[in-house]
Every structure is written in C-alpha cells, then in structure tokens.
Homo-oligomer: A and B are copies of this chain.
Amino acid sequence: MNPEFLPASGASRTVPIGDVVTEAGVTILDAELRLFAFYNSPQGDADYAEFSAGPEPGLSPEERPVVLIEHALTGDGNAADWWADMVGPNKPIDTTRYLVLCANVLGGCQGSTGPSSPHPDGKAWGSRFPGLSIRDMVTAERQLLERVGVTKIHALIGASMGGARVLEWTLMYPEMISAALPIAVSARASAWQIGLQSSQIRFIEADPAWHGGDYYDKGEVPSHGLGQARRIAHLTYRGELEVDERFGVDPQRGENPYGAYRDPQQRFAVESYLDRQAEKLVARFDAGSYVVLTDALNRHDVGRGRGGMNAALGSCQVPTMVVGVDTDILYPLHQQEHLSRNLGDFIGMSKITSPTGHDGFLIESRQMGQVLVKFLAKAEIIAEGEEQ
C-alpha cells in the first residue's frame, strides 16, 4: 500500500489516477477521485492515523482486509455519513476490523473528476465530458486502488448504481475480489428505468439554463430541470405504501389544495415534501453530473460485448450474494431473483421487507445490518479458503 494516498480515518483526499480512457474511446485527462477511508483502533479510537494507538493496536490499516463500498447515484465517498448505521466501530461494516474505502464516482461532483471539474485548460469540462458507462467508473476505481496500492478487495459492497459497479467489478477484475454484495440492482437497465431516467435527463436538458451542458460560466444553473428530475426520481426511490402512510391526502399545513380554483401555492403535503427533496438536491448536486451518471445507468448492461446478459453473469467467478427490497419499483425484486438464478458463483440472496421501496437499503438499518453481518462472515470464510 502507498500510505501517501491513504486519507486519515473519516477524512478524504483527492487522488490523481492518471488519464481514464472510456469504453467509447474518449480520454479524460488527469482524472482524480476523491477517496474516503474509515478505520479505527480495536478500542474504537477515531484517530488511528498513527497506526499504533491503544494497548492492542491490532492490524494496521495497511494490513487490514479492505472493504470497498460503492455509493449510489447522488451519494458520495463519505459512507460513514450516508450509511451511518452500517459503517463504524462495531457496526456491521466494522471499522475496527477493516480498512473501509469509498470513493466519489467518476463523473460525480463531490471531489472526483466530472463535468463541473476544471479541464486541463482551466474551464469546466461541461459538454466536453464524455458519456460514461458503469464500466468506465470501475476502470477509474481500479486505477485509484492501484495508486493507493490496494491489490485485494476483501468485500465489495454497493447498492443501486453502486450495485451496478459491484457487478461490473466482478466481471472486469474478478481476481482482485474475494466476495461481492450487489444490493437493489439488476444485470442491466430495464426499458422502464431507461424511460424514466431518459425523461429526467431531458427535463434538465430542456432547462434554458442548461446551455447544452456548458452553464458553468453562465452565472445560472439548470435548477428547475434538476428539481423536476428529482421529484420523479424520488418517487421511484420510495414505496407508495410508505409515502401514503406519511402524507395521504393531507393538505400542507395552512394550505388548501381543495379550493375553488387550482392554485400552485395551495399544496398537498406530499407536494411540499417533493419540493424540499428537489431543493435539497439542487443545493448539493451538479446537474451536469446528474446527467452523466443517469446516462451511465441507462448504459448499464453486464452483457454488452460479453455474449449477452446471462452468459456474462454465468462467467462471474466472484462469490456473490444478492439483496433486494420487496417493494422496490425501480429495481424490482424479480431483477435480483434473476441475478440469483444466473450468477456464476452465487452464494445467497436476502430480501429486505419494507414499505419504503428502493431506499430500503438506506432506511431499514436492522435488516440491512443483519445481511451485511451475514455477508461479511461468509467473506471471511471465503478469504480464509483463498489463503490456504
């Protein structure tokens, strides 16, 4: 391992990974990925940078098995934040035992190279940023791990777009991975997903502030289009049972959507909720990244160039466990069941039962934690077998 690039625990650093050549043949010059690392002493000390704290220092981060977490579409490398119940000392992904890594995705906007990043010429990449596939993201992450000096991934875990990267990792670099856990994902985009996702992209592209993707020096951002996209996306992340339990037909407090004339200011509670979701995303996320990453989800297909989807899955040599959420409408459970029937080295399937839909992997901490503990126990056995 190259300690120069390993961030302090809970912190991040930007790692130069060299040029990335996309599947479609474009070179992203001098790419960088922002990497977070999480590791605590066996006593749970947060500051483990000295590699030697405590009476029983245990394994240093460099000696520890690596757990690589892949984040979802608008997530980021700070997995201990967005997956706080899963990642930490004595939590299911136990940072007193593992070196946990999570990098912001290529094409993103949280410190990794994406459309909003400066091109070597100093101006934003904007429309010059190429179309990405899920494979291109994995290519970049492979270059990142090489730079950091990680040669073996003990456990590879990701949900949604993170799950798509997990699947591609197992097909592109199987020799590096002991065990994999794709969650709430499918072997390829479904046409329904592409329909919804391409519509979201069009909402952004139709915003006059989009400027063909080159809005970064225009003094305005396509916040309206991004907000439109988020409203729809959010309703595919949440189960209708959960949304209905929370809001039903309630008016937003102080407003009356049953008035004599339709009035956009008189909202149902769920409208106000979606307004907030849209505003929050607009405040924290770049529309250009949203388009690139959503387009990559459309391009997701493990079968492309590999003799078809099931042939590709069948060729998978990494022991892989699969997780789905029973009420997920974006990645319905039958897609994970399809994986379970076709993966070459399938080691089990778990179902999260929840009214929350796709986001169940974020919300149902108890169930998700149980699955992670079970998976990591299997990964230990597999890794021991590899060493013998």
Contact = CB atoms under 8 A, between A and B. Distances in A.
A206 B299 CA distance: 30
A194 to B, nearest CB: 5
Interface centre among A189, A268, A270 (most CB of B within 10 A): A270
A274 B205 CA distance: 16
Interface centre among A193, A205, A258, A299 (most CB of B within 10 A): A258
B235 A24 contact: no
B199 A232 contact: yes
A165 interface: no
A89 to B, nearest CB: 38
A289 B110 CA distance: 43
A267 B228 CA distance: 21
A301 B191 contact: no
A25 B260 contact: yes
A24 B260 contact: yes
A194 B271 contact: yes
A243 B191 CA distance: 6
Interface centre among A246, A260, A273 (most CB of B within 10 A): A260
B249 A228 contact: no
Contacts of A329: 240, 329
A22 interface: yes
A163 to B, nearest CB: 17
Interface in A292-339: 292, 295, 298-299, 301, 304, 329, 332, 334
Contacts of A26: 260-261
A198 B26 CA distance: 40
Main secondary structure of the interface of A (DSSP, over half): helix
A131 B260 contact: yes
Nearest to A26: B260
A304 B249 CA distance: 10
A248 interface: yes
A64 B338 CA distance: 53
A257 interface: yes
A196 interface: yes
B260 A299 contact: no
Interface string A9-24: 0000000000000111
A329 B25 CA distance: 39
13 contacts: A26-B261, A191-B248, A192-B270, A194-B268, A194-B271, A198-B267, A199-B235, A205-B264, A228-B228, A240-B332, A249-B301, A257-B298, A257-B299
Given A130-B261, A198-B271, 10 more contacts: A25-B260, A189-B249, A190-B240, A191-B243, A191-B249, A191-B270, A194-B271, A195-B270, A196-B235, A199-B228
What 3 A-B pairs have minimum CB-CB distances, sorted nearest first? A192-B240, A191-B247, A24-B260
